[in-house]
Structure 1
Amino acid sequence: MTLNFPERIEIPVITLPNIVFFPGTSLPLYVVDDIFQDIFEEATCAGNPIGISLAMEKDFETYFAYPCEVFGIGQPLMIERVDGNTLKVLVRCIGKCQVNYPTQSNPYPMYNVTILKDDECVMSNIDEFYRLESILYNWLDINIPNDQDRDYFIETLNKPDQIINYVATFIIKSRQIRQLLLEQDNINDKIKILSSLITDEHIFHEDPIVAQAFEEFVSEKLQLKQAN
């Protein structure tokens, strides 16, 4: 996915407690808070992107937590008022970035970020890709009962990395593992991780034993980074 932005840009960033925003996916939001509404309305009017980052567990109670090192960049596609004070927003993830430093704190945080690009490579594990794609379609059959809505959604799935990112979004429950997947730059690495997590015994959520091993790896990696 190519973004028509400079390599480094300044964007507002929203942190959410359980959302890892993957490129090629869409995120519906119902926004009640006035400051968050201002972020979306101003970005929509100016045609600017918004960063949406996972808030780690220790920061759940923080109003504007510092974002993860890597997070998704979204473009609001639809914005409308519902029920008086609620703003309904559909945000399309158009890429991902790495945070550099904050540039503004009030009325909402802005960050200087570097646009990231995934590796351009040939997919080497086609069989595993098709297995994950089949699992995604089975999940959609169960969770989107309306045939028309489901068919429309499937029609939007036109790239392998988009399919893999939706597998991570819908199937993987662990926020730490979803964040780990977002940080991968190679689709083959993502497929390898997902294939080890989604076994024949656990097709609609990650295998708990494998997931625990990955979560321990992520925790150790974070501790080493903080120590350095």
Structure 2
Amino acid sequence: MSPELPDRRTLPLFPLNTVLFPGASLPLQIFEERYKRLLQDCLDSDERFGIVLIKSGDEVGQPAIPHPIGTVAHITQVNEMRGDRFLIAVTGERRFKINTITRHRPYITADVSILPDVDSEEARPESESILRQLNEYLSLITGLQGGWTSEVRTSRDPAALSYFIAETLLIDLSEKQQLLEKPSTVSRLEAEAEVLRRDIDQLRERVAIELRAKFSRQ
């Protein structure tokens, strides 16, 4: 996280069909001229850019309409590839809200407000129980795939944990965006607990079906 980011700022935007969470890493391949320009501008000024889920439109071509809340991305690695392409790695920092789009070309820029992580410490009791749910969830998934998993080792900071869980959950992009937009750590953890309860029930049923099928063949 980067607490030194100003509360309000102008930020270049990169609309994508993905949701980046604070603390998560993401590889990106840059090949469009507008985003090569964005990359160069960010590198020249040691600037961040914002990753936002596309609400309507496409990644390639005309500027897409983004969801109003995204995540500041810090460039951590840049590799130049053949064909005038770049493979970069970014890490999510803070969430932001788009106030106004200030420019559409050559790439989108916006006036944004950096969003705080509200009531993180109040969420600590919730974070302990949800971590147990997460371990069962991952154990069931890997078991169905024929593997095994050790206990999750991650930050016990409630805000960081809430983002880690949101990144880990195998849910669609609209659900991930809803988690990113939650106004507080408590509300995000509560929503994740509901998702985990729902999916754990479904996974348990799948395990039971597979076991019955296995024993019926013996």
If the TM-score is normalised by the length of the shorter chain, which range does it land in? 0.7 to 0.9
* Alignment RMSD (CA, Å): 2.9
Secondary structure at 2:22 match in 1: coil
Q: Secondary structure in 2 aligned to 1:74?
A: strand
Q: CA deviation at 1:181?
A: 0.6
Kindly indicate whether residue 190 of structure 2 is the aligned counterpart of residue 164 of structure 1: no
CA shift digits 1:119-172 (9 cap, x unpaired): 133223244322244257659979xxxxxxx99xx8775644333313212324
**1:130-209 maps to which residues of 2 (within 5 A)?**
130-135=131-136, 138=139, 157=155, 159-199=157-197, 200-202=200-202
**Pair 182,106 (structure 1): closer, same or farther in 2 beyond 3 Å:** same
Per-residue Cα deviation, 1:154-205 (whole angstroms, up to 9, x for no partner): 877564433331321232422111111111132221121111112323469x
Structure 1, unaligned stretches of length 5 or more? Answer: 143-149, 205-228
Shift of 1:66: 2.5
Q: Secondary structure, in 3 states, of the residue corresponding to 2:201?
A: coil
- In the alignment, residue 185 of structure 2 is paired with which amino acid? I
Among all aligned residue pairs of Structure 1 and Structure 2, give the percentage whose two residues are the same amino acid: 19
Q: What residue is the counterpart of 1:68 in the other structure?
A: 67
Asked whether the equivalents of residues 127 and 161 of structure 2 are also in contact (C-alpha less than 8 Å), the reply is no
Q: For residues 140 and 64 of structure 1, what CA distance do their matches in structure 2 show?
A: 37
The structure with the larger Rg is 2
Rounded to whole Å, the distance in 2 between the matches of 1:170 and 1:32 is 28
Counterpart contact for 1:101–1:111, Cα < 8 Å = yes
Task: Report matched runs for 1:96-115 at 5 Å.
Answer: 96-115=95-114
Q: Which amino acid aligns with 1:23?
A: P
Distance 1:81 1:138, change over 3 A: farther
Where does residue 3 of structure 1 map in the other structure? 3
The aligned counterpart of 1:28 is 27
Contact 1:104–1:110 under 8 Å retained in 2: yes
Shift of 1:60: 3.1
Residues 11-69 of structure 1: per-residue CA shift (max 9 Å, x gap): 1101112x11111111111222122122122212211110100002x323763213211
SS in 2 for 1:21: coil
The TM-score with structure 2 as length reference comes to 0.76
TM-score (normalised: structure 1)? 0.73
Report how many residues are paired.
Answer: 193
CA contact (8 A) 1:135 1:203 kept: no
Q: 1:51 to 1:100 in 2, by over 3 A?
A: same
Runs of 4+ displaced beyond 4 Å? 135-142, 154-158
Equivalent position amino acid for 1:186 in 2: S
Q: 1:76 to 1:118 in 2, by over 3 A?
A: same
CA distance in 2, matches of 1:155, 1:48: 31
SS at match of 1:189: helix
Name the SS of the counterpart of 1:55 in structure 2: strand
